[in-house]
Structure 1
Amino acid sequence: MIMKKNVIKTSVLSIALAAILATSVATTVKADDNVGNPVELKYISSKTQLPVYQLRLNNLTKGSYAIAIKDESGVVLYNETVAGTKVVRNYQFDSVLPEGAKLTFEVNDLTNNTSKVYNVSKTATVVEDVVVNEVK
């Protein structure tokens, strides 16, 4: 349990640093992109086993959002408040999460008092294909 808390504390500090470095500039998106879906969270890639998640706020009018990333027990690993239109943020942990770790991304629209919650879990599968071809 102590090791898990140390991993979580390290993750909190490292995700804060990674989020600041990775998202210091908001990306502008064309006005017609995903207007019907105001909040999107997607898995982008995993560089050296460190996953990168992208959060897009597809709002056309300026708004304020509270974003929180929590672990499976509800401990807040990272939180921030962002404001603007068409905000895009990338989040990456600086250390490998424990096997079977589950994350929750909560996005609260402070202007309209609405929220979206995303649960993220990772599973690994091994696929082995065996192909037999007749030569003659």
Structure 2
Amino acid sequence: MSEAPDHPPILVVDDQEKLLRLVVMLLSRIGFPDVDGVTSGTEAMEKLRQRRYALVISDLDMEPMDGLTLLREIRGDDTLMNTPFILTEASFEFEDINLAHQAGADAFILKPFDIAVLKTKLKNVINRKPRKREAPIAAQSTLSQDFPMLGKY
């Protein structure tokens, strides 16, 4: 059974079951009927290893694995690293955004969701180009060749 490209599967992760059901319902209403929901990062990783998702939408503040840890797990896995990832939270601190950006978050959405913002973010994130693994050793040697003074510090 092939999945329709206009209805890509989405995985929603939120440890609050009522909010999880609400997000799944909202996604269905705006044209994404193929949505799975789980209440923990561990369950999310299990699902991600069983099925390819077009997007993960995860709450930031969860226990025991928070959304940032889940994001890092996904980005660290060669098979999953290109899975688009949106973090959600009722409020974001600058440090949260900075850490999530460094970890590879594709977007942030504040709760409660504004439908127009949700649609726009989904479209932008799902259509984003795949990531490429950086080669840190090669990058370091290139930098030291191009800028020999860097090796002195």
TM-score when normalising by structure 1: 0.27
More strand by share: 1
TM-score when normalising by structure 2: 0.25
Q: Larger relative CO (CA 8 A, sep 6+): 1 or 2? A: 1
